[in-house]
Amino acid sequence: MSTRDLTLADFETTVTGDGIVLVDLWAEWCGPCKQFAPTFEASSEKHPDVVHAKVDTEAEQELAGMLQVRSIPTLMLFRDGVLLFNQAGALPAAALDDVISQAKALDMDEVRRQIAEADAHPDELDLDTFAAAHAQGAFVLDVRQADEYASGHVPGAVHIAMGDLPAHLAELPEGERVHVICQSGGRSRQAVGYLQSQGIDAVNVTDGTGGWIQRGWPVES
HSE at residue 148, side-chain half, CA atoms within 13 A, is: 19
Torsion, Cα of 84, 89, 92, 95 (10° steps): -20
The Cα 160–Cα 169 span in angstroms is 9
| Strand, helix or coil for residue 12 | helix
Q: Which residues pair with 83 in a beta bridge?
A: 78
Catalytic residues: 30, 33
The Cα 43–Cα 52 span in angstroms is 8
**CB-based contacts of 144: which residues, under 8 Å, 6+ apart?**
153, 159, 161, 162, 182, 183, 187, 209
Helices (H), the chain: 8-15, 31-46, 61-66, 93-105, 108-120, 127-135, 146-151, 186-197, 208-214
